[in-house]
A and B are shown apart, each in its own frame.
Chain A
Amino acid sequence: EVQLVESGGGLVQPGRSLRLSCVTSGFSFGDYTMHWFRQAPGKGLEWVGFIRSQAYGEATEYAASVKGRFTISRDDSKSIAYLLMNSLKTEDTAVYYCGSGYTYGPDIFDLWGQGTMVTVSS
């Protein structure tokens, strides 16, 4: 069974850092682009960024709202994707999801984790 499980969320003060993990199983993780998304309380979905597979140089792209503060990485040996969030702001408060385009194409997100909540507050 294909699974994505996020962890690492919690309460953090503004300006601090937090690293989220997306532990995967059941598919060839190293072959796939991994994305991160977020959803602020009561709001819509926002794409955060992606990391391509090693075959594509592990290239990354980020949304303008997080560029320069967030970093996505991956460990193919452990089938884990990471989201390192620095200089956190109150507006980064959201449920964070990892996901991937597994079946139908790299930008058709049919795999999602259950999400992990990040609260940025003093």
Chain B
Amino acid sequence: QSVLTQPPSASGTPGQRVTISCSGSSSNIGSNTVNWYQQLPGTAPKLLIYSNNQRPSGVPDRFSGSRSGTSASLAISGLQSEDEADYYCAAWDDSLDNAVFGGGTQVTVL
């Protein structure tokens, strides 16, 4: 059971907008910034969004993030076939003194 809660799956057709939620608590998302990772099949995770809504260099601007209270979300606008991957939210948890991850959301492009 993951500390952060994500839906197990999400899907959309090419060009659609898909949103993934991430729910936490006051000790993690409520007090620390949220990062998102993309994991393509058979590869290591890749940083996609950091500090709630910042994109690393090279990440397309169709990916965006937000945080409100103890929840966060990742949005993919203009969904493309290469966006099929697993997406994980993560944050530091002050109570556990751990990094914590969501269980991951598998995005399928229909």
Contacts and interface: CB of A to CB of B under 8 A. Distances in A.
B56 A110 contact: yes
User: Which bucket holds chain B's interface residue count?
Assistant: 20 to 34
A47 B44 contact: no
A104 B50 contact: yes
A114 B104 contact: no
B59 to A, nearest CB: 11
Contacts of A41: none
A107 B97 CA distance: 12
Interface of B: 2, 35, 37, 39, 43-47, 50-51, 54, 56, 86, 88, 90, 92, 96-104
A46 B73 CA distance: 20
A32 interface: no
23 contacts: A44-B2, A44-B101, A44-B103, A45-B90, A45-B104, A46-B101, A47-B99, A47-B100, A64-B96, A64-B98, A97-B45, A103-B56, A104-B50, A108-B47, A108-B50, A108-B51, A109-B37, A109-B47, A109-B90, A110-B50, A112-B45, A113-B44, A115-B44
Interface of A: 35, 44-47, 61, 63-64, 97, 103-105, 107-110, 112-115
Chain B binding surface SS class: strand
A97 B51 CA distance: 22
A61 B88 CA distance: 22
Nearest to B104: A44
Contacts of A47: 98-101
Contacts of A104: 47, 50-51, 54, 56
B24 to A, nearest CB: 14
A45 B45 contact: yes
